[in-house]
Amino acid sequence: MTATDTGYLCRYCRLSSDGAAVTCRWCGAPVDVRAIVSRGGWEEQPAIRDMARLQIGQSTVQIEGTYVPTADFALNGPEWIYFSHHSLLWTEPSVALDTLPMAGGWNRVRAGMPLVMMRAHGPGHIALSDDAPGEIVALPLVPGREYWVREHRFLAATGNVTYAWDRAHVWYTTGSGDEKEWHYPMGQFIDRFTAQDTPGLLLLHSPGNTFMRDLRPGEAICIQPSALLYKDMSVGMQLHLEYPRTMGMVWYGGYSYRSIWLRLWGPGRVAVQSVFSHPEESMAITSHSPATTHHW
């Protein structure tokens, strides 16, 4: 617990409250938790407790369950949320559902099936969930705050949070001519969420556990590309390629033996998930996005 002039400052969402409840009213993190920090500087974000309730304007969202948690929204007044259609569990008949108009040729696919962005207007209850064990991460957004989120990690956002998308610009190719293949180790797109004139709430689903780190200006780290959960917009990123020396031989860029990483540098916050996929084995890299390399 961190004390401020207004009572309690949450170390995870960095917003203040009176600290009277057992969880932060903004992000659901326990207020009596002891920080767990690794030797590398990564801090585990505690999971939101079962039945913790977050306030979002006149509405609330209750996090239910711990293995595959559910976000149960109670929508009131003119407030609304948007979400991808595949995360809908159930809804009361009083909740009005329709599709959210998307600009810029938004065309997202998961497991070969197209995704549809939907919105829900109250009054009434609507429940959302991902289909994998993990944690729901609540990110309150004050006006002007922006987060960049890896694709397919988004669960829901309040209607006053602006959504946009961009290409991740992290890629490499193998082969040439008709055999040329494109690879996107962290996905093709990255989602951008920004609060405008009023505070908003963004919910993500993080497979496994969630770890975060605040990078100092110029401080750089490397992570597995698919481990990225979200980052501040101030954090830079690019591909990083490692070519190790093995068995008394040096493996140069023309060979397939290499490690693929995502290089991030500060200032800003980075969060990763503990469940991720290693980049697939492939032939030699023939071209790639801007990257740093290391032969050793």
For residues 24 and 12, is the Cβ–Cβ distance under 8 A?
yes
Please work out, in degrees rounded to the nearest 5, the angle formed at the alpha carbon of residue 147 by the alpha carbons of 145 and 150. 170
In a domain, 91, yes or no: yes
1 pLDDT above the threshold of 50: no
The pLDDT of residue 254 is 44
In a domain, 11, yes or no: no
- Cis ω on the peptide bond leading into residue 123 (within 30° of 0)? yes
63 pLDDT above the threshold of 90: yes
In a domain, 4, yes or no: no
In a domain, 234, yes or no: yes
pLDDT band at 3 (very low <50, low <70, confident <90, very high): very low
- pLDDT over 70 percentage in the chain: 88
Task: State whether the Cα torsion 75-78-79-85 is positive or negative.
Answer: positive
- pLDDT over 90 percentage in the chain: 47
- What tens digit of pLDDT does each residue of 142-200 get? 888 899 999 889 999 999 999 988 889 999 998 888 888 999 999 888 999 999 888 89
**CATH no. for residue 95?**
3.60.160.10
Q: Give the whole-angstrom CA distance, residue 278 versus residue 264.
A: 17
In a domain, 287, yes or no: yes
5 pLDDT above the threshold of 50: no
What is the Cα Rg of the chain in Å?
Answer: 21
The pLDDT of residue 253 is 44
Q: Which domain holds residue 112?
A: 35-295
The pLDDT of residue 101 is 82
The pLDDT of residue 107 is 66
247 pLDDT above the threshold of 60: no
Task: Count the domains in the chain.
Answer: 1
Q: What is the mean pLDDT of residues 220-226?
A: 94
Q: Which of 155, 148, 150 is nearest to 192 (CA)?
A: 148
Only one residue has tokens 């193998």, namely 174
In a domain, 9, yes or no: no
In a domain, 198, yes or no: yes
In a domain, 104, yes or no: yes
Least confident of 86-95, 123-132, 284-293: 284-293
